[in-house]
């Protein structure tokens, strides 16, 4: 994730406002099919179709930029409240389940979409209850 401070101006007002824009740049995820990098993984490539790998990567990044640290705000406000979610070892929220599992197929899976019978690729998040990646469950842990 990256951020940039920009000045925004509304079309209905002459007043300018400073805002911070957060964004992420994502890679095309696949197993290289040919050339000198044949068989090499680029990005997160765990699904059988390239578009699913791209969605898995985007899902991973969305979870990170929703929870990533805003170090500038933490410094300016002298408060760790702006530092987002990280593990005790400093891993971001979407990286922790990847490092906790030995197989990426335990972290990235296809689940049934809530509004149709189609299956969509997602990344499971880290669960303190199971000390690893966990997907949709039927009821909360006790």
**pLDDT of 67-123, one tens digit each?**
766 777 778 888 877 777 777 677 777 888 888 888 889 899 999 888 989 999 999
Contact (Cβ atoms closer than 8 angstroms) between residue 122 and residue 111? yes
Model's pTM, two decimal places? 0.70
Q: Residue 127 pLDDT more than 90?
A: no
Distance CA 69, CA 142 (A): 30
Evaluate whether 83 touches 92 at the Cβ level (below 8 Å).
no
Phi, psi of 99 (to 5 degrees): -75, -25
The span from the CA of 122 to the CA of 127, in Å, is: 15
Burial class (CB in 10 A: 0-12, 13-18, 19+), 60: buried
Average pLDDT in the 40-62 region? 85
Alpha-carbon distance values, 103 to 59, 81, 96, 109 (Å): 18, 33, 13, 11
Collapsing DSSP to helix, strand or coil, 108 comes out as strand
Identify the pLDDT of residue 6: 55
Cα separation of 72 and 78, whole Å? 10
Q: What is the mean pLDDT of residues 8-16?
A: 60
Six-digit token string for 13: 């007002």
């Amino acid at each position: 994730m990256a951020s940039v401070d920009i000045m925004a101006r509304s079309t209905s007002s002459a007043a300018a406002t400073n805002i911070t824009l957060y964004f992420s740049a994502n890679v095309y995820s696949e197993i290289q099919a040919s050339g000198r990098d044949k068989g090499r993984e680029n990005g997160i490539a765990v699904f059988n179709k390239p578009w699913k790998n791209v969605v898995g990567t985007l899902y991973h990044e969305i979870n990170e930029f929703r929870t990533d640290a805003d170090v500038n705000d933490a410094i300016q406000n002298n408060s760790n409240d702006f530092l987002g979610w990280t593990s005790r070892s400093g891993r971001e929220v979407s990286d922790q389940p990847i490092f906790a599992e030995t197989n990426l197929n335990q972290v990235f899976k296809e689940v049934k979409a809530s509004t149709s019978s189609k299956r969509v690729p997602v990344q499971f998040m880290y669960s303190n209850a199971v000390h690893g990646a966990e997907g949709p469950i039927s009821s909360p842990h006790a």
